Amino acid sequence: MAVNPPELDAALHVPGFRIGTASCGVKAPELKGKRTDLTIIAADVDCHAAGTFTQNRLRAACVDLGEKAIHEHGSDIRGIVANSGNANAGTGIREAEWAQMMIAATAESLAVAPEQLLSASTGVIGTPFPIERIESGIRAASTCEADWQGAANAIRTTDTYAKWASRRVGDFTMTGIAKGSGMIHPNMATMLGFIATDAPLSRDQMQPMLKRVVRQSFNAISVDGDTSTNDTVYLLASGLGLGHAPIQDVAEFEAALTSLCIELAQMIVRDGEGVSKFVTIQIKGAASEKDAYQVGRTIAVSPLVKTAFAGSDANWGRIVAAAGNAGIAFDADRISLSCDDVMMMENGQLHPDYCDEAGMAVFAQSEFSICLNLGMGDSEATIWTGDLTHEYITINAEYRT
Q: Which residues bind a second copy (CB under 8 A)?
A: 55-59, 87, 89-93, 124-128, 182-183, 224-229, 301-304, 307-308, 310-311, 313, 315-318, 320-330, 332-333, 344-345, 348-350, 388-390, 392-394, 396-401
> Strand, helix or coil at 226?
coil
Determine the longest span between alpha carbons in the chain, in angstroms.
70
Measured N-to-C along each axis, helices 289-301 and 317-324 cross at an angle, to the nearest 10 degrees, of 130
Q: Which is nearer to a second copy, 46 or 346 (CB)?
A: 346
**Secondary element (H or E) of residue 95:** helix 94-110
Q: Are 238 and 45 in contact (CB under 8 A)?
A: yes
Beta-carbon contacts of residue 358 (< 8 Å; ≥ 6 apart): 342
Q: What proportions of the chain, in percent to the nearest 5, are helix, strand and coil?
A: 35, 25, 40
Catalytic, out of 21, 39, 173, 190: 190
Q: Report CA 101 to chain centroid distance, whole Å.
A: 26
The distance of closest approach from Cβ of residue 288 to a second copy in the complex, given in angstroms and rounded to an integer, is 16
CA distance 252 to 167: 12
CA distance 84 to 22: 11
The distance of closest approach from Cβ of residue 245 to a second copy in the complex, given in angstroms and rounded to an integer, is 44
**Angle, CA 181 vertex, CA 64 and CA 19 arms, to 5°:** 65
Q: Which is nearer to a second copy, 255 or 395 (CB)?
A: 395
The distance of closest approach from Cβ of residue 255 to a second copy in the complex, given in angstroms and rounded to an integer, is 31
> Strand, helix or coil at 382?
strand
Q: Which is nearer to a second copy, 159 or 224 (CB)?
A: 224
**Angle, CA 296 vertex, CA 364 and CA 309 arms, to 5°:** 20
The distance of closest approach from Cβ of residue 225 to a second copy in the complex, given in angstroms and rounded to an integer, is 6
The distance of closest approach from Cβ of residue 134 to a second copy in the complex, given in angstroms and rounded to an integer, is 18
Q: Which is nearer to a second copy, 138 or 275 (CB)?
A: 275
Q: Per-residue b/e over 257-290, b at no fewer than 16 CB within 10 Å?
A: bbbbbbbbbbbbbbbbbbbbbbbbbbbbbbbebe
Q: Which is nearer to a second copy, 42 or 322 (CB)?
A: 322
Classify burial at 251, counting beta carbons within 10 Å of its beta carbon; exposed 0-12, middle 13-18, buried 19 or more.
exposed
The distance of closest approach from Cβ of residue 67 to a second copy in the complex, given in angstroms and rounded to an integer, is 15
Q: Check if 190 is active-site.
A: yes
Q: Which is nearer to a second copy, 200 or 359 (CB)?
A: 359
Residues serving a catalytic function are 190
